Every structure is written in C-alpha cells, then in structure tokens.
Amino acid sequence: MTKTIVESSSKAVTIGLDEPFCIIGERINPTGRKKLALELEAGNFETVIKDALEQVKSGANILDINAGGVYNSNPNPNVTEPVLMKKIIELVQDTIEVPLCIDSSVPGALEEGLKAAKGRPLLNSVTGEEERLDSILPLVKKYNVPV
C-alpha cells in the first residue's frame, strides 16, 4: 500500500488505506469568510490562532492553510497572497504542532508557504491542468513534498 508522510517540526502523520482516518482541518481559509478576510486585511490574526487551536483540539491531524481572497488594497493575489501565506504559516506553526497542508491557486504563495513550513507539509491545489502542473510540479520536486 502507498503511504504518504506529512510532518511538522515535531509530529508526523501517515496517510494511507491501512492507516487511521486522517482529519484535515480546513477553517483557516478566508474564501467565503468575509469576517476573516477583513481581519487579515487589517493585520489581525486572532481568528487564525483561535481556529488553529480549536481544530487541533477537535481532532484535526493536519491543518490546511489558505490565504486567498485577501487583497490589502492591492487586488493582485500574486502580490498579496505570498506574503500573507508566509505570515499565517509562521503564526500557525508557533501555535500548534500538527503538520500543515499548503493550499493556494497562486504558485508564489505555495512557494512562500513551502519555504516557511517546518517539516514536510502536504501540498494542496494540484489539478490535472497542464499549465497548473507546469508551475506546481517543480515545487513538489524542489521541496520533496507530497500532494
């Protein structure tokens, strides 16, 4: 059986058919959460920290981190999202010990997240679209991360 290992600096989670069910917390995502998006635009990360703690307390083995939909007066996600992704990942890693899943449609945000991540995160947002694969697969290889 194929197994996928995702790691933080202090914990490892093995995902596989013969492994215990893995819960991935998906709350750290401002898409569709206007209040969270507005907080992040203002530089307020209280909800991110609260969501990280609550998800782990509720049994999440991995936390998905998404920084999309926050523009800070610049509507270009290629400019805003990489910086925000790095900041959120650093804060979450200082708050909890479970591994992370980095989730973005912006390749620059994925790379900033991979640079900031301690351990071996899971990389989300990989689709079968050729253009997308051309930008994501080099990151997978460079950082040796599962998708």
94, 57 Cβ separation under 8 angstroms: no
Tens of pLDDT, residues 21-66: 999 999 999 988 999 999 999 999 999 999 999 999 999 999 999 9
pTM given for the model: 0.93
| Residue 44 structure tokens | 């307020």
Beta strand pairing call for 3-7 and 12-16: antiparallel
User: Does the pLDDT of residue 92 top 80, yes or no?
Assistant: yes
Assign 125 a pLDDT band (cuts: 50, 70, 90). Answer: confident
Tens of pLDDT, residues 49-58: 999 999 999 9
29, 68 Cβ separation under 8 angstroms: yes
Tallying the residues shown for the chain, one arrives at 147
